[in-house]
Chain A
Amino acid sequence: MRKQFVKTLEDLMEQDERLVLLLGDIGVFGFANAFKRYPERIYNIGICEQAMTSLAAGLAKEGLIPVLHSIAPFVIERCLEQIKIDLCYQNLPANIVSVGASYDYVAVGCTHHCPADVAVLQALPGMEIVIPGTPGDFDRLFRAAYANSHPTYFRLSERSNQHSCNVEFGRAEVIQRGGLATVIAVGPTLTWVLEATQDLDVTVLYYTTVVPFDGGTLRENCPSGKIAVVEPFYVGTLAHEVTSAMKDRSIRLLSVGVPREFLTNYGHAVDHDLACGLTPEQIKARLEQFIHD
């Protein structure tokens, strides 16, 4: 996805002179070509995420479209108030693109984990949140949303789904239909979900935009009233979106995601998938129990 980010940005910067890229000393070498081509519109701002976020707001006030980029905990959690006030409250068209989703950078420890990013951004009115599952998703979704009039967060992951489809900003895709439950796969969890559900009579919906949440597609594809959300961030993050979408219907909700605790071990991401209960086999077991309860 990171390579696609560079490719998409380089292409769009040529087409749209309003785009300005701000790097928090991350991705600088990847954008070497862009530095040569657009020296007035790409800056390695340095390691000062708070000022970088406010600076982006200032650029947006001048009619430009800033794109902020760094590792998720630094570009989201460290400067959360700047995102809240300068971008969301002032309602400015800025884009944040992070790397290091949840525990992608697991071996470097908790300082570089960020499974809370979507939960905290979701609390900010006006913030749009996009979780691409493939490089192609990122390209389509970024092109669709970068120039709209709201702040938008794009969460890049080291993982990519094997399955690809023509995603649209703000709309969920119906991947398969079944009667026993509706399973929501968010971004890069789709591969796990498809493996987990291959023998199950369930509907699978693929969400790459989580705010605004496409409640209509969920309502139209939830005959059982049983909804399982498989989310690549803190477990329960999307519970409010789901219950709001289904507010006048009785539902049962299962949330499968990253436990709300510090992941203090190192190793590889797959080790943590297992520890978090996020392997396809573990997800399948949770779903089977949920369906039959």
Chain B
Amino acid sequence: MPTTERILRITVKSIISKLRRLIVKASASAGEGHVPSAFSVLDILWVLYDRVLQVDPQNPRSDGRDRFILSKGHGALALYAVLAEKGFFPASELERFAAFDSPLGGHPDCNKVPGVEASTGSLGHGLPMGIGMALGMRIRKIDRRVIVLVGDGECNEGSIWESALLAAHHRLSKLTCIVDYNHSTDRALLLGDIAAKFAAFGWAAAIINGHDHEAICNALIRTDSDRPTAIVAETVKGFGCKQMENNPAWHHRAPTQDELAAILEELA
């Protein structure tokens, strides 16, 4: 591996580690937060904002921006950490995460947080909103992308498959849907081959390792000429923190101060 590439990878690894610690500290401080869900999508969000999306933190509502919707809004801590790292707002805001008058709540609010495109939390809303944005940009002749990240459990919702039909029917080639496939809801409903399902609805579809930055980037920079694209990202819920990984007990639980010290040490 060339030296510059090695240095770059070390730097990214260090940033991801820093963001994980920021997330877990914010959660512990607030006594709130879906930390494993944030860790599941953190690598994807970092690659999106670092290498794929054309966005301007100084002008977050510019017509010329790419639009990103975190449809699985409970991954909000990861989005906040990445937006802060990219300069949309100061990282110190995370210290007040979920406080009474904080703009940063357990789910993202587009009317409070710069860079957040949609207020999500109830599952199955973000993808159809993304379709409306893609259609709206087509009507307004704005040539930019819409990328929506949904969870696998979210794919239980009928509105996801209503959207899959709509996006293919209207040939929304500027729309990409990333599925965070961490298998956490296999216990309820087996989804099987999600990429094949999107392909059957008329989408271009691919499966990637959702923690491999090169794979994420290579998949996300591609679009199809006349079909929407689905990227099924195989992920680990709680990735990077052994006691949280694939452990349902941590789904919506903040670390205690004792647990925090041990987790921060692991993430260092």
Chain A interfacial positions (CB closer than 8 Å to B) = 20, 40-41, 43, 45-46, 48, 50-64, 66, 81-82, 85-86, 89-91
- A40: chain B residues at CB < 8 Å are 138-139
Tell me the interface secondary structure of chain B in the complex: helix
- B129: chain A residues at CB < 8 Å are 54-55, 57-58, 61, 86
- B159: chain A residues at CB < 8 Å are 48, 50-51, 54, 82
**When the two chains form their complex, are residues B122 and A85 in contact, meaning their CB atoms are under 8 A apart?**
yes
**When the two chains form their complex, are residues B124 and A50 in contact, meaning their CB atoms are under 8 A apart?**
yes
Asked if B140 is at the interface (CB within 8 A of a chain A CB), the reply is: yes
Which chain B residues in 125-152 approach chain A with CB under 8 Å? Answer: 125-140, 142
Tell me the interface secondary structure of chain A in the complex: helix
Closest chain-B Cβ to A63's Cβ sits at a distance in Å of: 7
Interface size class of B (residues with CB under 8 A): 20 to 34
Q: Could you write out 29 A-B pairs with CB less than 8 Å apart? A: A20-B139, A45-B166, A46-B165, A50-B128, A50-B159, A50-B162, A51-B159, A51-B162, A51-B166, A54-B126, A54-B129, A54-B131, A54-B163, A55-B135, A55-B163, A57-B118, A57-B129, A58-B136, A61-B132, A62-B132, A62-B140, A63-B136, A64-B136, A64-B140, A85-B119, A86-B125, A86-B129, A89-B119, A91-B111
Residue from A55, A62, A63, A91 in contact with B128 in the complex, judged by beta carbons closer than 8 Å: A55
Closest to A17 in B: B139
**When the two chains form their complex, are residues A54 and B128 in contact, meaning their CB atoms are under 8 A apart?**
yes
3 closest pairs, A vs B, by CB?
A58-B132, A62-B136, A54-B128
Closest chain-A Cβ to B74's Cβ sits at a distance in Å of: 14
**When the two chains form their complex, are residues B122 and A58 in contact, meaning their CB atoms are under 8 A apart?**
no
- B139: chain A residues at CB < 8 Å are 20, 40-41, 59, 62, 64
Residue from B124, B132, B142 in contact with A55 in the complex, judged by beta carbons closer than 8 Å: B132
- B136: chain A residues at CB < 8 Å are 20, 58-59, 61-64
- In the complex, A258 Cα to B163 Cα: how many Å? 36
Asked if B180 is at the interface (CB within 8 A of a chain A CB), the reply is: no
- In the complex, A60 Cα to B129 Cα: how many Å? 10
- In the complex, A146 Cα to B175 Cα: how many Å? 28
Closest to A20 in B: B139
Asked if B117 is at the interface (CB within 8 A of a chain A CB), the reply is: yes
Q: A53-B128, A91-B111 are in contact. List 15 more A-B contacts (CB 8 A).
A: A45-B166, A51-B128, A51-B166, A54-B125, A55-B129, A58-B128, A58-B129, A59-B132, A59-B135, A62-B139, A62-B140, A63-B136, A64-B139, A82-B159, A86-B129
**When the two chains form their complex, are residues A58 and B135 in contact, meaning their CB atoms are under 8 A apart?**
yes
- In the complex, A54 Cα to B134 Cα: how many Å? 12
Asked if B158 is at the interface (CB within 8 A of a chain A CB), the reply is: yes
Residue from A52, A63, A89 in contact with B140 in the complex, judged by beta carbons closer than 8 Å: A63
- In the complex, A86 Cα to B111 Cα: how many Å? 12
- In the complex, A89 Cα to B135 Cα: how many Å? 22
- B118: chain A residues at CB < 8 Å are 57, 61, 86, 90
Closest to B164 in A: A51
- In the complex, A52 Cα to B169 Cα: how many Å? 14
**When the two chains form their complex, are residues B119 and A55 in contact, meaning their CB atoms are under 8 A apart?**
no
Asked if B110 is at the interface (CB within 8 A of a chain A CB), the reply is: yes
- B166: chain A residues at CB < 8 Å are 45-46, 48, 51, 55
- B162: chain A residues at CB < 8 Å are 48, 50-51
Closest to A55 in B: B132
Closest chain-A Cβ to B234's Cβ sits at a distance in Å of: 26
- In the complex, A60 Cα to B159 Cα: how many Å? 19
Closest chain-A Cβ to B140's Cβ sits at a distance in Å of: 6
Residue from B132, B165, B170 in contact with A56 in the complex, judged by beta carbons closer than 8 Å: B132
**When the two chains form their complex, are residues A61 and B111 in contact, meaning their CB atoms are under 8 A apart?**
no
Closest chain-B Cβ to A82's Cβ sits at a distance in Å of: 6
**When the two chains form their complex, are residues B140 and A54 in contact, meaning their CB atoms are under 8 A apart?**
no
**Taking each of B122, B126, B136, which has the highest tally of chain A beta carbons within 10 Å of its own beta carbon?**
B136
Residue from B142, B158, B165 in contact with A50 in the complex, judged by beta carbons closer than 8 Å: B158
Closest chain-B Cβ to A185's Cβ sits at a distance in Å of: 37
Closest chain-B Cβ to A48's Cβ sits at a distance in Å of: 4
Closest chain-A Cβ to B230's Cβ sits at a distance in Å of: 16
- A63: chain B residues at CB < 8 Å are 136, 140
Closest chain-A Cβ to B211's Cβ sits at a distance in Å of: 29
Closest to B137 in A: A62
**When the two chains form their complex, are residues B128 and A61 in contact, meaning their CB atoms are under 8 A apart?**
no
